[in-house]
Structure 1
Amino acid sequence: MSIVHHLDDDVLLEYATGTLAEGWSIAVATHLALCPHCRERYELMELTGGALLDTLEPVPASPDSWTALMARLQDETGAQPAAATPAVPPNGGQPVLPEPLRSYVGSDVDGIAWKSLPGAAQFLIPTSDGETMVRLLRIPAGKPVPEHTHRGREFTLVLSGAFSDGEDVFRRGDIEVADSSLMHTPVATPDADCICLAVTDAPLKFKSWMVRMVQPMLGI
């Protein structure tokens, strides 16, 4: 497995400092589980942050500092940030969905109850951040996703198969970060269905009026 599409430093830094919402954190943690290169960058950021903390002068703690710290580590619902666990590539019966994603889904891909979309299928993954929409997408081999752009940001992480987007090809472990500047039509490669993890913070903006008509019912 050769991963060529990685996360930006800004995103990794947000994840390292715990400022990413749960949905984005799931995508980052899953990518880190598959990508040794980004894991090394992330670990370096953590080491650098720890070294900087060591240079600070200690400040006397208030009596309620521990309680305040624990409150900051949890959001309003008590959800914890997703943690990355290195994954084994999908051969020899190894799971397609690495942790922590597999725990969110409740099974590997063979146990997913897919729901139909125009030209694809989806499985919604519940989160508690109130900001993101997280889903698994299955795009049939050789088929396109309807042409669209974005009202916000989208992370698309390939878990199985591959898709092409213009001149770029995204395979297992590759992640595409898109926003309103990109109008595109991703197409699954013809050799196999493409299964992706997609995280958004706003509905997509489709070019086709027919897709736009059914979009509210589909939640995309």
Structure 2
Amino acid sequence: MSAYHPDDMTLMNYAAGSLSIPQALAVSVHLCFCHECRDLVKNFNHLGGALLETIKPASTEDDAFDALMATLEPHDHSHVPKVKMEATETGRITQHFHNPLLRYLPAPLAELPWQRQTKEISKFDLTSLLGIKGFQIALQKINAGAKVPNHTHKGFEYTVVLSGGFSDELGVYHEGDFIARDTSHNHSPTALQNEDCICLTVLNAPLKFTGWQRVFNPFMAWH
């Protein structure tokens, strides 16, 4: 089971269909691994349907909006019925769910035509395949034990671990984990020692490498 998840507001926006396509892709990939977040999305959908039946269409007053948001308070799920999800015999619940990435990949992860960015970091760019502008959507592969240069972000970055794992200054992440970073974060992800780490990454602005590692900016910039 995943240990790191999208926040409740992100899941609520996903359920409402208000995320951008790249953001929604990252969340949907995480949902393939995480029954807890699938439960929350289903419950947000149930709540949304119930609210549509009770809210007066003509009401646009500020107090009506505040009342709606109070009803959807994302941090209190005690009143929400849970939807039970069953795991497979092997315990890998992901086997029950279709990964939306599969339709865009020309080959299994190990056989993709990876583009080398540094000696130990490679990328498979999905941006052009998806026809999306204003974002970079890519698979990133970090060799086992390798370290990504220290960097911050000019916008936001969503990362979903597909295989292997990595650590940074804020935690250790494994298959299925969802990690959100923005301009307030400065970190240096390091792949775990036992296997290569492959992640889906979604950015709305390039990374910004810091210190002497700024020399990596031309090599890691968007193309």
The amino acid that maps onto 1:174 is: D
Q: Contact between 2:117 and 2:220, CA under 8 Å: does it hold in 1? A: no
Alignment-derived partner of residue 52 in structure 2: 53
Alignment-derived partner of residue 214 in structure 1: 219
Alignment-derived partner of residue 102 in structure 1: 102
TM-score, normalised with respect to structure 1? 0.77
After TM superposition, the structure 1 = structure 2 runs for residues 1-220 of structure 1, keeping only pairs within 5 Å, are: 2-56=1-55, 99-118=99-118, 119-125=120-126, 126-207=129-210, 208-216=213-221, 219=222
Shift of 1:201: 0.2
The one-character-per-residue Cα deviations of 1:129-183 (angstroms, maximum 9, x if unpaired) are: 4232100011000001111000000001101001011251100010110001110
**What SS does the corresponding residue of 1:106 show, helix, strand or coil?**
coil
Distance, in Å, in 2 between the alignment partners of 1:147 and 1:161 is 20
Shift of 1:9: 1.0
Q: Contact between 2:22 and 2:135, CA under 8 Å: does it hold in 1? A: yes
Question: When the two structures are aligned, how many residues end up with a matched partner?
Answer: 189
Shift of 1:87: 9.8
Which segment is superposed worse, 101-110 or 2-11? 101-110
List 4+ stretches of structure 1 deviating above 6 A. Answer: 86-92
Shift of 1:212: 1.9
In structure 2, stretches of 5+ residues that fail to align are: 59-85
Distance, in Å, in 2 between the alignment partners of 1:48 and 1:120 is 43
**What SS does the corresponding residue of 2:130 show, helix, strand or coil?**
coil
Distance, in Å, in 1 between the alignment partners of 2:144 and 2:188 is 14
More helix as a share of residues: 2
TM-score, normalised with respect to structure 2? 0.77
**What SS does the corresponding residue of 1:183 show, helix, strand or coil?**
coil
In structure 1, stretches of 5+ residues that fail to align are: 60-85
> In angstroms, what is the RMSD of aligned CA positions?
2.7
